[in-house]
């Protein structure tokens, strides 16, 4: 069984919860869209930095083009909002943990591309709009499948932790709405 299949099977419950929470935002509403972006800003920058510090460039040489924190910051700034306090990133020890976290981040790009359709043209949507090299997600999935990870437990644990952080960030963002 491929690492991708294992991750999909063992995180489907977390993924479903995150999809349900973030799918409830009305991205056509400037205020709800701002709240949505603020939730992501609690997770994305710290996680990207943690991946970089753990050596993600060894796994994905095109990592700099895959980062999205700057796009997120730009959208939040254009909406006239400030960045929220970030949550601590997941601990990423070892290659398997990197793959698990990457699985969640890269997968969120697919979801983001679908959600971008709900964002009106007058609102900034750089963060959700697909960017980077054509076929980047396929390249990622091929590398994930070829990773050669014998014990997927650290990958599953990192993925579940990151999904849980997204849930926490979404809940915190909703609680902060007056």
Q: Structure pTM? A: 0.95
Contact 36, 123 (CB under 8 A): no
Tell me the chain's radius of gyration from C-alpha atoms. Answer: 16
Instruction: Say what percent of the chain tops pLDDT 90.
Output: 88
C-alpha span between 174 and 134 (Å, rounded): 34
Residue located via tokens 């700099």: 64
How large is the average pLDDT for residues 52-69? 95
Burial class (CB in 10 A: 0-12, 13-18, 19+), 72: buried
CATH 1.20.910.10 fits 3-175, yes or no: yes
Contact 28, 120 (CB under 8 A): yes
pLDDT at residue number 134? 78
Residue located via tokens 């793959």: 99
| pLDDT tens digits for range 88-105 | 999 999 999 999 999 999
- Mean of the per-residue pLDDT values of the chain: 94
| pLDDT tens digits for range 123-178 | 999 999 977 777 888 999 999 999 999 899 999 999 999 999 999 999 999 888 76
SS3 162: helix
Does residue 110 register a pLDDT over 90? no
């Amino acid at each position: 069984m491929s690492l991708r299949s294992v991750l999909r099977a063992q995180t489907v419950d977390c993924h479903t919860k995150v999809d349900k929470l973030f799918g409830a935002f009305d991205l056509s509403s400037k205020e709800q869209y701002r709240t949505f972006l603020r939730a992501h800003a609690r997770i994305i920058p710290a996680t990207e930095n943690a991946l970089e510090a753990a050596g993600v460039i060894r796994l994905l040489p095109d990592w700099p083009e895959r980062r999205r924190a700057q796009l997120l910051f730009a959208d939040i700034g254009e909406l006239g909002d400030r960045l929220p306090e970030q949550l601590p990133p997941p601990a990423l020890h070892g290659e398997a943990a990197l793959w698990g976290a990457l699985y969640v981040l890269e997968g969120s790009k697919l979801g983001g591309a679908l959600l971008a359709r709900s964002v009106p043209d007058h609102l900034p949507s750089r963060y959700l709009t697909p960017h980077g090299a054509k076929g980047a997600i396929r390249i990622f999935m091929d590398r994930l499948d070829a990773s050669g990870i014998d014990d997927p437990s650290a990958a599953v644990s990192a993925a579940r932790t990151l999904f849980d952080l997204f849930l926490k960030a979404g809940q915190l963002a909703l609680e902060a709405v007056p």
